[in-house]
């Protein structure tokens, strides 16, 4: 889908980490190049000064609707900055392109050392778009809904006090599954399976698989294995009302909700996906090998057919 403004001009929203000089320098170079190609550039309020005065024709926006009217969001940074960009991509359905300035960077599609390639594909609209499953999260206290949020990677319920465990009951599709003391539980998407889920011992799930993941963290229980369930399932986590401590809900490691004793968190498939721009058609297997530097030297399998992950 091509998005254009009523005046017919093409716009791109650029998001970066204003506290990182390297990110600001690369983003400013990108902005100057696409502007020279005839595209208008929009920056977030508070980030324009960090990118310098390379143009007098830029736009500055603030708020959740900052991407409205833009055909693409380009983010310069690690996965944390890309997740911030996703907060603008989700409500507007604008595709998001991440340029990796971090380390592993599974959400990033482009590399900072291939800027000519990236600019060319943005200007010529030479990219595909994939929809990624998200999570809708709702918090209940004493039976009443008290908070709502969402996540692209994961929603986790964790203990608030380092010295004590959190007593949690887990539930799937309205049926109780187990109760145990733990440091927390991660509910993840396939996109987030290489993030917190991976660190917690959960499985890696190919992004095109539709599923929800639930992974206990340091649970004191015989049955505390990672689980992969239907994308239509509803996952629920309840903090014991008579427990010793309260908890914290984290959404994508960026937004938090304090959870009192007895609080209930429900996680389900999100109504709105996040659309990621793809410059490459390489299989997800190749991305795993590259990002984790996996040893495949000497492989003699058949040539790749170019399947996508």
Q: Which residues are catalytic?
A: 79
d(C-alpha 162, C-alpha 299), whole Å: 45
H/E stretch holding 116 reads helix 115-123
Q: Decide: 185 and 157 in contact? Cβ < 8 Å.
A: yes
Q: How many CB atoms within 10 Å of residue 9?
A: 11
The C-alpha atoms of residue 274 and residue 163 are separated, in whole angstroms, by: 37
205, with CB counted inside 10 A (0-12, 13-18, 19+), is buried
Rounded distance, CA 175 to CA 164, Å?
27
Give the separation between CA 102 and CA 108, rounded to whole angstroms: 9
Pairs from 109-117 (Cβ < 8 Å, separation ≥ 24): 109/276, 109/277, 109/278, 109/279, 109/280, 110/279, 112/26, 112/76, 115/26, 115/29, 115/30, 115/33, 117/279
Question: Facing residues of 258 across strands?
Answer: 248
Task: Please tell me what DSSP assigns to residue 220.
Answer: B
Distance, in Å, from the CA atom of 257 to the CA atom of 106, rounded to the nearest integer, reads 26
How far apart are the C-alpha atoms of 244 and 152, rounded to whole Å? 31
């Amino acid at each position: 889908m091509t998005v254009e403004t009523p005046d017919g001009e093409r716009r791109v929203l650029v998001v970066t980490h204003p506290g990182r000089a390297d990110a600001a320098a690369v983003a400013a170079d990108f902005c100057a190049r696409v502007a020279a190609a005839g595209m208008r550039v929009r920056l977030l309020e508070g980030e324009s000064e960090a990118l310098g005065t390379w143009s007098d024709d830029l736009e500055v926006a603030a708020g959740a609707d900052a991407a409205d009217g833009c055909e693409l969001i380009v983010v310069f940074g690690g996965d944390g900055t890309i997740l911030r960009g996703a907060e603008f991509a989700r409500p507007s359905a604008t595709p998001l392109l991440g340029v990796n300035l971090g380390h592993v960077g599974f959400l990033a599609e482009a590399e900072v050392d291939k800027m000519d390639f990236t600019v060319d594909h943005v200007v010529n609209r030479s990219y595909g778009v994939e929809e990624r499953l998200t999570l809708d999260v709702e918090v209940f206290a004493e039976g009443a809904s008290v908070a709502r949020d969402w996540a692209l990677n994961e929603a986790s319920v964790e203990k608030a006090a380092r010295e004590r465990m959190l007593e949690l009951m887990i539930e799937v599709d309205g049926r109780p599954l187990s109760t145990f003391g733990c440091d927390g539980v991660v509910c993840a998407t396939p996109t987030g399976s290489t993030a917190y889920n991976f660190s917690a011992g959960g499985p890696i799930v190919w992004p095109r698989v539709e599923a929800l993941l639930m992974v206990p963290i340091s649970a004191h229980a015989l049955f505390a294995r990672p689980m992969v369930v239907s994308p239509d399932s509803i996952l629920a986590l309840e903090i014991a009302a008579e427990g010793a401590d309260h908890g914290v809900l984290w959404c994508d490691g960026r937004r938090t909700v304090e959870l009192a004793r007895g609080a209930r968190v429900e996680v389900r498939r999100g109504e709105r996906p996040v659309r990621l721009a793809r410059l490459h058609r390489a299989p997800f297997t190749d991305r795993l090998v590259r990002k984790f530097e996996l040893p495949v030297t000497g492989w003699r399998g058949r040539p790749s057919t170019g399947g996508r992950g």
